[in-house]
Structure 1
C-alpha cells in the first residue's frame, strides 16, 4: 500500500501489508493451513532453499498467512520487518537470543512482566548471560552505572505491568546508543496505536500479540519488530555472530549482506527457524482479525480505564491507584508526552486491608473475570501477590511495589457504568456497616445480584432468576 500522503492508523490497520489473493481473488487473505508448499520443479526447490527465489518451503520457515500479519505489525510500528512467533514469551526469547551469547550482559528495568524476568534470571543466566536490573527506570544514572563493556542491550516496557511506571523511551534510547547498544522495548500494553517506541529511538519492539493485538482472548502469539536504523556494522567485535562468514550467505556475513537489517534476519533465519516457535496460521488469522479493530478497541479500553481509575482514587478503601493517566500520578508527565491518545487499560490499585480485603473484592465481582490475561474485550481482575508474583519473596514483592492488597485490572469494553457498579458491589463486601451474609456481601446488594442474574440468564436463554424462585 503506497501513497504520496501517509495513511491514518485506522486505514493502515485494515489495509496495511495486504497482498491480494492471486488464486481466487478473496478480499480477506485466506488461511494457509499447510505444513509445506509445492515446488514447480527441481530448479525451483533448489532456488528457494538457496534463497535466490522468493517463495515458501515449510511453515516453520514462513507461511503466507503469518507473513501477512508480520507486514501489518511492522507497518503499524513503523518498523522495517517483523517476525511473528507463537507467544509473547517466544518474542522476548527470539529478540534476546538474536543479540546475546554466553558471556554477555543485559540491563533491564526492574518493573517488567514476571515471565520475562524469569526468562532473564533462569533461562538466560543458565546459558551464561548476566542480567542487572534498574530499580527506578527513570533514573538514567542508575541505567548508566549498570552498563558494562559486555552489555549487549537495554530492555524495558513502555507501560510496565502492573505499576504503570512509564519508560522514558527517548532518554533510555539515547543512553543506550551512547554506549553502542540497542534498546529493546516491550510495547504490549501500549500497542502501536498509543505509542510507537521506534519513533522515539528504540531499536527493537516486541509484543505479546495474545493481548491487545488479538484482543478477544482466543489466540496466542508474539512479534519481534526491527526499526532498521541500528548500525550493526559500527562495532564488529561487539556482534561477532553478525560478522562471521556464513556458508548460507555464500561466505558473506549477516552484517555485510543485510546492513541495518542484520539482527532481524539473523533472528528469523537462525534463532526462530532453529528453535521453531512458529504460530499456527489459524492463530495468525485471529490476530489479524483483531488488529483490524485495534484503534477502536484501545481507545475504548483507555477511556473506560481512566474513568475507573478516577473512581477508585476517590474511594476511602483505596490507598493508591497506579494509573499514569491520572494527573496525580508521578508518571503522568511521561504519559502526556508518550501517550497522548490514552494511558492504556492495565493498571493496579491497592486496598488498605491487605490480602484479606483483596480476597473479599476479588470474590465479590460479577462482571470482572478472575483470570491471568490482559487486553481482552472482557474486563479482568487478578491478585498479583498470590499469583503472578507468588514466586518472589515478600521483600522482593515489597521492593517491586506489589503489596498484599494490590489488585490488577485489565479494563475491557463493557459499559463503564456497569463496571463501576460491579466494583462498587464488591467494595460493599468491605463495608463495616450493614448486615453481611456468609460471602461477605451486604444484603442491600440484592438488586445488584438480581441484575447480574438477569444478565447471565438472558445470555444463556434461561428465565431470569426472579421467575425461577
Structure 2
C-alpha cells in the first residue's frame, strides 16, 4: 500500500522527468487531425478532448485510487457528495429501491430522502448490524445495498462480507462509502463490495484544503450476469452508440464508462486538476497519518471511558460494542480518528463543551491533520427527522470528534477543559429546571 500510494498511476521517466505529476491547467486538448478527434468522440480511442470529462492529472488520481482499492477503474469528481450521487444515479432507475444502513452521513440520508425520491427511487433504512433486517428489506426492485465501512459519526463497523453475500444472492450491488476507513485501513472490495465511494476531501487529501470525490469499481460487479436488471449497461445506448457492458470484455468497467460519459459530463461534476494534485500529494502520506491518528484516537477513547459527564463513548473499541469483533477481524490497523461521545446534559452541555475547547476547532469537516469537533444534531444531521437522527446514533448531547496529528496529551488536556465546561453547564441547567419547577 505504501508503495502504491507513492507510485501508482505515474511514471517519472516521461518527458522532462517530473517526479510529481504536473497540473494540466487546460480546458481543451489539441489533436493532430480531424480523424483523431473524431475517433475519440466515437469512443474508438482513449484520450482527452475537454477537461469537463477528463484531465491527465485527474487520471493519475483515478489510477492511483484504483490500485489502492484493488479495483478495475475509477472516476474522480468534485466532491464526495458528487461521487455518491453519480454512483447511485448510474445504478438506479425510476421505480427501483435501495436498502441502506440507518447509520449514514446526514448528506447521504438527505440525498436518498429528497433528491432520489424526486426521481422515484425508494429506500429503506435498516440497522447495519441486523443481517435479518437487510434480508427482510429486500424487494424484487432492490438494486443497491448502501453502507459505510466506518459510520459517521458513531464509528460503527459494518460486516460487509455478510452484507455482500445477501446482496449478491439477490442480484443487487453493494455500494460502500469508505471515506473514514480509506484503503490504508480497509478495502471493501476484498470483502465483496462492488462499488467504493470516497470523500477524498477527508483522509485521502488529509489537510482540509481541497474538495474531491472518488468512485471505484472493485471488479466484483458484472451486469452481464443479470442483464435484465441493468438494461442501461447491457443494452445498446442510443445516445453514445455503444453497449457499456462491452467494456468488461476489454478488462475495463462498463459502470465507470457509463457514469463518466453520462453523469460526470451532464452534471458537470468536474474535479479541477489542481485539486487532483493536492489529493495525490495527500495520498503519499496516507498510511503514516492513519497509523498515527488511529493510535491517538484509541488512546483518547480509553482515557474518556470513565470520564465524569460522558454517558457513552461511541467507538468500536468501547466495552459492550456489538461490532467489537469486527474491529479485531477487519481493522487490525485501527478504525481511524472519527468517533462521538454522548454528553450528559444534552445540547446545553454539548454547546459548552465545544465552546470551551481551544485546540480542537469547531468545524464540520473530518479527516484533517487538525483535530475537529462539532455537534451533529444542530449541523451535519440537522435536516433529518428526529427518528432518523436517533437511528444514526445522534442525540442532543452527541458530539463528534475527529482526531488529528497533535500530541495526545495536549488533546486530552483540551478535552478536559471541554468536559469541565459541559459539567458546569449541565449542573446549571438542572438547577434552573428545579427552580422553575418549584416556582
TM range (shorter): over 0.9
Matched, 1:223 2:214: yes
TM-score, scaled to structure 2: 0.93
Matched, 1:258 2:258: no
8 Å Cα contact 1:19/1:68 also seen in 2: no
Check 1:38–1:333 CA distance in 2 against 1; reply closer, same or farther (3 A cut): same
Q: Which residue of 2 aligns with 1:176?
A: 167
The counterpart of 1:233, out of the listed 195, 209, 224, is: 224
Q: Which residue of 2 aligns with 1:420?
A: 412
The counterpart of 1:41, out of the listed 33, 37, 48, is: 33
Give, in angstroms, the shift of residue 204 of structure 1.
0.4
Q: Which residue of 1 aligns with 2:176?
A: 185
The counterpart of 2:197, out of the listed 206, 225, 231, is: 206
Question: Unaligned stretches of 5+ in structure 1?
Answer: 1-8, 437-469
Question: Unaligned stretches of 5+ in structure 2?
Answer: 429-439
How far apart in 1 are the matches of 2:110 and 2:2? 36
How far apart in 2 are the matches of 1:132 and 1:16? 38
How far apart in 2 are the matches of 1:254 and 1:283? 29
TM-score, scaled to structure 1: 0.87
Q: Which residue of 2 aligns with 1:150?
A: 141
How far apart in 1 are the matches of 2:343 and 2:302? 15
Q: Which residue of 2 aligns with 1:454?
A: none
How far apart in 1 are the matches of 2:178 and 2:347? 30
1:50-199 matches, cutoff 5 A: 50-134=42-126, 136-199=127-190
8 Å Cα contact 2:110/2:384 also seen in 1: no
8 Å Cα contact 2:146/2:175 also seen in 1: yes
Q: What's the C-alpha RMSD, in Å, of the aligned pairs?
A: 1.7
Q: Which residue of 2 aligns with 1:380?
A: 372
Greater relative CO, 1 or 2 (CA 8 Å, sep 6+): 2
Give, in angstroms, the shift of residue 105 of structure 1.
0.8
Check 1:395–1:43 CA distance in 2 against 1; reply closer, same or farther (3 A cut): closer
Matched, 1:313 2:305: yes
How far apart in 1 are the matches of 2:177 and 2:339? 16
1:213-362 matches, cutoff 5 A: 213-246=204-237, 252-259=242-249, 261-362=253-354
Moved more, 38-47 or 93-102: 38-47
8 Å Cα contact 1:243/1:254 also seen in 2: yes
How far apart in 2 are the matches of 1:127 and 1:398? 26
**SS in structure 1 at match of 2:256:** helix
Check 1:10–1:186 CA distance in 2 against 1; reply closer, same or farther (3 A cut): same
How far apart in 2 are the matches of 1:88 and 1:264? 16
Matched, 1:364 2:332: no
8 Å Cα contact 2:103/2:391 also seen in 1: no
